[in-house]
Amino acid sequence: MATDKQTLRIGLIGFGCVGQGLYDILQQRPETGFEVARIAVKNPTKPRSLPLSQFDFHADDLLHDPSLDVLVEVIDDAAEAFRLVSEALRQGRRVVTANKAMLARHLPELVQLQRQAGGTLLYEAAVCGSIPIIRTLDAYFGAEPLRSVTGILNGSSNYVLTRMGEEGSDYAPALAEAQAKGFAETDPTLDMGAFDPRSKAVILAAHAYGTFLQPEEVLNLGIEQINAVDIAFAATLGRKIKVVAGLQRLPDGRVTALVTPLFVAPESPLYSVDHEFNGVLIEADFAGEQFLQGRGAGGHPTGSAVLADLAAIRQGYSYHYPKLTTSSPTYATDLELEIYLRTDEDRLIDALDFTEISEEADEDGYVVGYVALSNLLRVKELIQKFGAFVVRTGAVRPLTATTSALELEESL
């Protein structure tokens, strides 16, 4: 193993936005003591900023190169990323990844592989770009109970919502602008459908509460159907609509996780997190509130998080998952959420089976009231199908009534 004074040789798998960002940082700061020794990419014909001779085209060659001190995986393919990372960990190697979808799906297996083979896996870059949220939860708050971890974890959707709320833009041109600036992908589904922040919420749950979740267990609702009526309704409340991932410890000790549009009040630190920025609010039992804000995406911000992981690996750091014990809290879904639903489809209202309605406006086509979380999970695809839009008010309470939404959904 290299000492602190030796240069660590990096095997870089992937040379997209994050890979190029890390390479650029290390070229500018050679004194960090990290050298990108080999770079593996998939497509030999894709134009790149470096000569073709500097690339390998078989990532497995890097896996089996003992001269490489650390492997950095920054590809888009979650299945291939898992294959590469898991094999590296079986070899007892040190690995850094930024692949949040892969981690959300396979984190329990990866943690077990580390323990069995003695490897190290760090992934600060997978959540919130430059914000050191994972290390903060794992190390600083490892011994302290947390009431909640709430955050804007996706810069793409936050940029679109900022443009719609402050500039009066419609959804389509705001999305096109985000894509033109590189904040949103050509296929924006993962970001705008809240799948990306759902993956990040699953990762945070392991460190904040010691709970391994599967992505499908977590409600995720996106903003693809948002329009001016919704923005105007939020304005009447003096609030902004933000896609917020909320992890919360309930009074009975169980935890829940929700990733949805939320009406955010001005007194919340998240209210002022705009454009492509991310922000995370931690509420601890004894430390109180802590707030972190920074750039959540981009080559250099995310590359800086990879660099931080490389520096931590040099120092022998690894995640300890201090809250991952046999007494980890149970995940709760028997809850009711207060929502704003804008739809002209009565069948969807019937399927959601509101247990209480506090406001209804036929002319604008919206309803405000309480709905069982289980019903939202069941009819999530129908919300998209019918072009409806849902925003949480933030109110959560224990389930007060059983519903027949499953039967109603099957009849639609």
Catalytic site residues?
200
The backbone torsions φ and ψ at residue 361, rounded to the nearest 5 degrees and listed phi first, read -130, 105
In terms of Cα–Cα distance, which of 216, 312, 218 is closest to 257? 218
Rounded to 5°, the CA angle 303-306-307 comes to 90
Q: CA-CA distance, 356 to 315, in Å (whole number)?
A: 55
Count, residues in the chain: 412
